[in-house]
Amino acid sequence: MTTTEIRFLDQRTPDEKDRPFLPGMGKTWLLPLYDAFARVTGVQAVYERTAALADIGPGHAVVDVGCGTGNLSLAVLAATREARVTGLDPDRDALRRAARKARRRGVGLTLVQGYADRIPADDSALDHVISSLALHHIDDESRSTFARDALRALRPGGTLTVADFGGDPAPGGDEAGRPAHGHDNGDGLHNGHGQRHDHGHGNDHGHGVAHTLRHLARLVRSRGKHNPAVDRAHGDSLVTLLTEAGFDAVREVEHLDHRFGRIAIVRATRPVDTTQGA
Ligand SMILES: C[S@@+](CC[C@H](N)C(=O)[O-])C[C@H]1O[C@@H](n2cnc3c(N)ncnc32)[C@H](O)[C@@H]1O
């Protein structure tokens, strides 16, 4: 049965109430711009491809780690309304936005305030763990803990599908996977097959809010060049992280060349023939 209930849970320990985190736009006061920014810069294609590649079926239990304002969760629910999706994020304001969006669309969603290193699920309870553009916000130690905890929470054969900056750099690109595009006046994405995802913004040099957001995009990108979080998400570190945690069949299934850098979509499976912790 499809539910339209929105549930909100706070799983932070008293110690975690003051635990710092890197918000979606780098600063909490920029959060109201996040969704417009994602739209204008063509990131919607990342959500749709990640949701499609995760191959989530009706009734499947899914946790979206670092869900922010719920874009990937909602892309999953748009494709499979009967999926049981939980979004996890430390940012309460982002979760509130996700709740509002889910309510407007009439889909059910559970939102949990918490951190990636403690996935809100019993052992072997999940069919899928998914995440988009969140792991580069998380420090190395927490990323390793996240990978091990995802393995714990997934059922044997369950899958992890993660989209994040990284993957093999594009020819001529830099070590952080940023493409070598000299000129930057489009908003589209190119996927790993050289095909352009264009959402109607490609020829729009725009004014007003869209214009401001493009400037903001350039600002964030130029700051990203010196951002240790972005620098940490280079090369095949995601594949290495998941392999070291004990996942099977870890591979980059697709990449999208975004103006901020290469976004790799990596899939991995919890092995069926081992017991977690054995
Ligand atoms: C760039 S946003 C991506 C949000 C969303 N997944 C999307 O693609 O639109 C990164 C998100 O990671 C979250 N985040 C930061 N530190 C985190 C942590 N330790 N655990 C879980 N999420 C975290 C931020 O609050 C933010 O919502």
Report yes or no on whether pTM surpasses 0.95: no
Residue 276 inside a domain? The answer is: no
CA 91 to ligand 1: nearest atom: 25
pLDDT score of 2:
73
Residue 37 lies in a domain: yes
Ligand 1, atom 14, residue with closest C-alpha: 66
Q: Is the dihedral of CA 35, 41, 46, 48 positive or negative?
A: positive
List C-alpha distances in Å: 178 to 182, 188, 241.
11, 15, 20
Is residue 77 one of the residues assigned to a domain?
A: yes
Low-confidence residues in the chain, pLDDT < 70 = 1, 167-235, 274-278
275 inside domain:
no
Instruction: Extract the tokens encoding 255.
Output: 């990449």
Residue identifier of the C-alpha nearest atom 1 of ligand 1: 24
Contact status, residue 140 vs residue 89, Cβ threshold 8 Å: no
The CA 165 to ligand 1 mean position distance, Å, reads 13
In a domain, 117, yes or no: yes
What interhelical angle do 44-54 and 71-79 show, nearest 10? 50
pLDDT tens digits, one per residue of 170-216? 444 444 444 433 333 333 454 543 333 333 333 333 345 555 555 55
Give the distance (Å) from ligand 1 centre to CA of residue 19: 14
pLDDT 10s digits, 36-62: 999 999 899 999 999 999 999 999 999
**Alpha carbon of 247 to ligand 1 centroid (Å):** 22
CA distances 16 to 25, 105, 209, Å, are: 21, 32, 36
pLDDT of 141: 95
**Domain with 11 in it:** 6-269
The dihedral over CA atoms of 118, 239, 69, 49, expressed in degrees to the nearest 10, equals -140
Ligand 1 centre distance from Cα of residue 132 (Å): 8
Residue 277 included in any domain: no
- Atom of ligand 1 minimally distant from the CA of 38: 9
Ligand 1 atom at minimal distance to the Cα of residue 64: 6
What phi, psi does 24 have (nearest 5°)?
-55, -45
In angstroms, the Cα distances linking 150 to 12, 22, 143, 169, 209 are: 18, 21, 10, 27, 38
Give pLDDT, residue 274: 58
The answer to whether residue 205 sits within a structural domain is yes
Contact 54, 83 (CB under 8 A): no
| Number of domains observed in the structure of the chain | 1
Domain of 104: which CATH number? Answer: 3.40.50.150
* Residue 274 backbone phi and psi in degrees, to 5: -130, 155
- Whether 278 is covered by a domain: the verdict is no
Distance in angstroms (rounded) separating the CA atoms of residues 11 and 188: 37
Separation between Cα atoms, residue 230 and residue 213, nearest integer Å: 20
Going edge to edge, which strands form the sheet with 196-197? 6-10, 109-113, 84-89, 61-65, 126-132, 154-165, 261-269, 248-258, 189-191, 196-197
Who lines ligand 1 at CB under 6 A? 21-24, 38, 65-69, 71-72, 89-91, 94, 115-116, 132-134, 137-138, 142
- pLDDT of 259: 81
